[in-house]
Amino acid sequence: MKQPNPIQGYKVDKSTIINLEKGKIPPQAIDLEEVVLGAMMIDKKGVDEVIDILSAEAFYKDAHKHIFEAIFKLFENSEPVDLLTVSSQLKKDEKLDLIGGDFYLISLTQRVSSSAHIEFHARIILQKYIQRSLIKISSEIIEEAYDETKDVFDLLDNAEAKLYEVTQGNVKKSTETAQSLVIQAKKKIEEISNKEGMSGIASGFDKLDKLTSGWQPSDLVIVAARPGMGKTAFTLTMARNVAVNSNTPVAFFSLEMSSVQLITRLISSETGLSSEKLRTGKLEKHEWEQLNVKVKTLEKAPLFIDDTPSLSIFDLRAKARRLASQYGIKMIMIDYLQLMTAGGSQKGGNREQEISTISRNLKALAKELNIPVIALSQLSRAVETRGGSKRPLLSDLRESGAIEQDADIVSFIYRPEYYKIDEWDDEERSPTEGQGEFIVAKHRNGGLENIRLKFIGHLGKFDNLDDFDTPFGEFHSKMNEAANDDTFKPDNFPSASDAFDGPEDDGVPF
């Protein structure tokens, strides 16, 4: 008995045919993939031009992914790239049959005669990959948005993070092998060895830069102190050094002071005019000229200040990503940690847990943007109640031990003068007037040290402490000692005529 045809009698309407014609397939450029791979196998120049633009994931066709992986392995090992070597590498990887054998490789090389326009073609392949990535991310965002258990602020943060990765061309990488990581590390070491100066961003404080080799990318640095120690003064001085001296873009998030107050303090530091004079506006004519001339360097500095109060970690991450993509910021400073809120699902929770969330997210932000994040923090009152030395300890960090755990560097600012302590607690017992100490208490990748700095209170700034910073009283007593020493008496010095007479004189004019 003849079986009935299931299609027979089924009427296909016109709308179904139209929908099939408009069926969607992922963005792709198979023909350009073939051209680019063929050009890479016939011309070494083609490999050099696109090897750092494309990745295996950028290719739509699986066979093309395997071929690119083989070419990349040959390039990494400094081996020649051609039809025979690529075929041999695919055999080693047991993928030659998967791509269609030698015949398919030959057909790719026959499609092109040179590597002309290969970079342009590679860019189109990359664009198609970005389009596919956006479609994938959008689908994930839509799916998560329908999930009622998800916090809306977490959804926004995740969505923005994924889109930022695409913007930077850094669609999330899979797990990397030790071999590829070793190659990256060696390359970085070579770059550092060929680079003059330090590997990180210079703070402008010589001894500190020598200890840290500059602030390193992806590091979270905590600068903690009691109120009145000069936390804001220190970070503003550092922001100025980085932005003005090195012309490096810096973002400064101030949750305590307004942006105008901060820039006024920077103007005071830059011009040498006291904050009081700038606040009252009582300037002499020459001081107005001084202000107009010296402020020009500050006007041109790539310094971006945000004074949003009660900033949440979600808003901070969103703002930081935009600043990174628009202005290429290389450092973030936050004044200060305890004034931030966790936002999202953490809102209203235990304060210690909230601070833990904030510090963990700051470390994640530093890694994501691959830049140093410097966050100020308050210390507990235990410093004030402690007898003897008021020098801060790691246990004094306020509200959370997670800050110490998440940070790569934990440092303190200590000014004995604030506590009416006139002498340093060292062997020399030198005066503390106009001085402060930057204490590196935790350093994940280096040593610990207490670094003395000069504090200029009326200008609200810190500076390097050098040999000329000896207090006047101490300098005067040393001069008196020198005057009483027979070695320095005028009678013991030769006269000018004696100094240039005799056989030692070579007749060279001075």
Q: What is the pLDDT of residues 430-445, one digit of tens each?
A: 888 888 889 898 888 8
pLDDT at 349: 56
Q: Cα–Cα distances in Å, from 308 out to 196, 304, 377?
A: 38, 13, 17
Q: Cα–Cα distances in Å, from 441 out to 177, 204, 277?
A: 34, 20, 37
Active-site choice (256, 417, 433, 449): 256
Contact 402, 359 (CB under 8 A): yes
Residue 425 Cα to chain centre, angstroms? 36
pLDDT at 74 over 60: yes
pLDDT at 372 over 80: yes
Q: Is 160 assigned a catalytic role?
A: no
pLDDT at 373 over 90: yes
Q: Cα–Cα distances in Å, from 458 out to 274, 340, 435, 473, 502?
A: 6, 29, 13, 21, 55
% of the chain at pLDDT higher than 90 = 13
Q: Which residues pair with 412 in a beta bridge?
A: 224, 439
% of the chain at pLDDT higher than 70 = 80
143 token code pair: 């799916």
pLDDT at 85: 92
Lowest mean pLDDT among 69-78, 174-183, 204-213: 174-183
Task: Match 């089924």 to its residue by tokens.
Answer: 10
Residue range 456-474: mean pLDDT, rounded: 67
Q: Which residues pair with 435 in a beta bridge?
A: 454
Contact 402, 346 (CB under 8 A): no
Residue range 481-509: mean pLDDT, rounded: 42
Q: What is the pTM of this model?
A: 0.63
Spatial neighbors of 428 by CB under 8 A, at least 6 apart, are: none
Residue range 7-11: mean pLDDT, rounded: 44
Residue range 184-193: mean pLDDT, rounded: 71
User: pLDDT class for 398, splitting at 50, 70, 90?
Assistant: low
User: pLDDT class for 502, splitting at 50, 70, 90?
Assistant: very low
Distance CA 239, CA 331 (A): 9
pLDDT digits (tens, 9 = 90+) for 297-347: 888 888 898 888 888 887 788 788 888 888 889 999 998 888 888 765 444
Distance CA 425, CA 427 (A): 7
Residue range 157-175: mean pLDDT, rounded: 68
Lowest mean pLDDT among 66-70, 157-161, 397-401, 426-430: 397-401
pLDDT digits (tens, 9 = 90+) for 191-208: 666 666 677 888 888 888
pLDDT at 38: 92
Residue range 447-467: mean pLDDT, rounded: 83
Amino acid identity, residue 248? T
146 token code pair: 């329908």
pLDDT at 183: 75
CB atoms closer than 10 angstroms to residue 170:
11
Which one has a higher pLDDT value, 45 or 106?
106
Sketch out the chain's domains with CATH numbers: 30-146 (1.10.860.10), 197-472 (3.40.50.300)
pLDDT at 36: 92
Amino acid identity, residue 26? P
Order of strands across the sheet that contains 250-254: 303-306, 250-254, 331-335, 373-378, 220-225, 409-414, 435-443, 449-456, 461-464
pLDDT at 90: 92
User: pLDDT class for 508, splitting at 50, 70, 90?
Assistant: very low
3-state secondary structure of 410: strand
pLDDT at 488: 41
pLDDT at 194: 62
Mean pLDDT score of the chain, rounded to an integer? 78
pLDDT at 276: 75
Q: Provide the angle, in degrees to the nearest 10, between the axes of the packed helices 259-271 and 231-240.
A: 70
User: pLDDT class for 264, splitting at 50, 70, 90?
Assistant: confident
pLDDT at 381: 82
pLDDT at 430: 83
pLDDT at 170: 56
363 token code pair: 């470390």
